[in-house]
Amino acid sequence: MDAYFASVEQRDDPALRDKPMAVVGSGARTVLVSPSYQARAYGVKTGMRKPEALLLCPQILFVKGDTQKYTTVCSQIVELLYSYTPDMEICSIDEFFLDMANTLHLYGDIEDLASKIKSRIKEELGLNCSIGIAHNKLLAKLASEMAKPNGIKIIPKQDLSDILDQVETDALCGIGRKTKETLACMGINTLGQLRRYNVSALERKFGVNGKRLHLMACGIDESDVIPLGQEEEMKSVGHSMTFSKDATDGSLLRKYLLELSDMVGRRLRKARLCGKTIRLTVRYKSFFTFTRQRSMSVPTDDTKKIYEMAVTILGSVRLKESVRLLGVTVSKLTQEPSEGQLFREDKRKYKLNRLLDAVNERYGESLVSFASLSTSRKHKRVISPAWRPHGNRNY
DNA sequence: TCTGGGGTCCTAGGACCC
DNA sequence: TCTGGGGTCCTAGGACCC
């Protein structure tokens, strides 16, 4: 989808249409999550801070993101695309891979099909998208980036090297800022240069990734389109939050940990998972960020146990600065044990958690919660673009 | 108004075991 | 009297993605 969150907001509010605007988070220290194309024309980019954006484009409008809306629209897109092939992978809230190998004969020409899908998304959902077509995911993704905004791009096999020769190394998904810099130091700026570079020299520099880089530069990607319901199991569940003000007070930090542990616990229980390893993330005022993790003998999904472990870990750290962000992540996940397998004390906790979850599910996010949290829990959180509408990450 | 939030994968070093 | 070798698991950090 093109400038997804921003486009949904522009579609729904005529006052935003054709204007430089951006979707932002709800916190005091948010960044731009999705700038409109009119804003991008001024050099405004995703991840920018608000003052920076205002400097580039003083008339830019900011809109707080609406999680519910983007997930609903995403489900509508999924439904529409699914009607063309069941071999569809949901890559993120606004990106999808369709493997047309098995169903293309039903539709004929691939480019006609792409235009049809594009116009249906425009007519039925009022949104622009870009479609890339190629014989693997790596190149289809590259093609879709090249097609933006609002276009269709095909990379035919015979034109592959001509196209790759021109583009910069970080155009490919998997080559980011650091790798691009390292490659640039070796005199490699385009994929053509990368492809012709000595493979063993790449391997010496990048280890196993050296071979991968070479294959990528050749446009080779053997990865499959992973259809709905066949996604890998979730490996970790976590939440973090940047405070509106940096914090040093221990009791305040513990309150934040309780809130984060509760959010993580709820998601684990909803997914019927327990985790063994608890990881605490701390970001200082200076932005220096580090993690400390500890494993328990028995996996848990209990808010209090997660919280207590997080507090223990925090207690073992000698804080050197005031804290800007805390995060709690649970990993080493396993299926939750059935109620019958629990000891008596754990059985009570299990029932209590389930009951609270059920009440909150029915009557609103945090109707019943910890007394110490009664003053917080007010601000809405903006969705991560990595959210998925189906499969494991539905929680 | 200085820098969000949710993930995955890989690597390196150390503890521990046989 | 001066230190083997193979394997697994855990922790911490970093690159990358949307």
Closest nucleotide to A94 by C1' from CA: C18
Please check whether strand B approaches the CB of A227 to within 7 Å: no
Quote the mean pLDDT of chain A. 90
| CB of A189 closer than 8 Å to CB of A170 | no
Among A195, A220, A192, which Cα is nearest to A134's?
A220
Q: How far is the CA of A105 from the C1' of B4 (A)?
A: 44
Give me A384's structure tokens.
């991560």
Q: Which three-class secondary structure state does DSSP give residue A342?
A: coil
Strand C nucleotides in reach of protein CB atoms, 7 A cut-off: 10-18
Q: Looking at residue A391, what is its pLDDT?
A: 42
Please name the residue whose C-alpha is nearest to the C1' of nucleotide C13. A290
Question: What is the CA A282 to chain-centroid distance, rounded?
Answer: 20
Confidence of residue A207 (pLDDT cuts 50, 70, 90): confident
pLDDT tens column, A23-68: 999 888 999 999 999 999 999 999 999 999 999 999 999 999 998 8
One-letter amino acid of A241: M
For A217-250, the pLDDT digits (tens) are: 999 999 999 998 888 889 999 999 999 999 999 9
Q: What is the CA radius of gyration of chain A?
A: 24
Residues in contact with strand C, defined as Cβ under 7 Å from any of its atoms: A 91-95, 141, 170, 172-180, 276-277, 279, 290-295, 332, 384-386
What is the per-residue pLDDT across A349-391, written as a single tens digit (0 to 9) for each? 788 888 888 887 777 666 677 777 765 554 556 655 555 554 4
Average the pLDDT over A85-91 and give the result.
Answer: 94
The encoded tokens of residue A291 equal 């993690």
For helices A250-270 and A344-363, the axis angle rounded to 10 degrees is: 90
Q: What positions of strand B are covered by protein, i.e. any atom < 7 Å from a CB? A: 1-12
Position with higher pLDDT, A395 vs A355: A355
Say yes or no: Cβ of A236 under 7 A from any atom of strand B: yes
Which residues of A are part of the catalytic machinery? 95
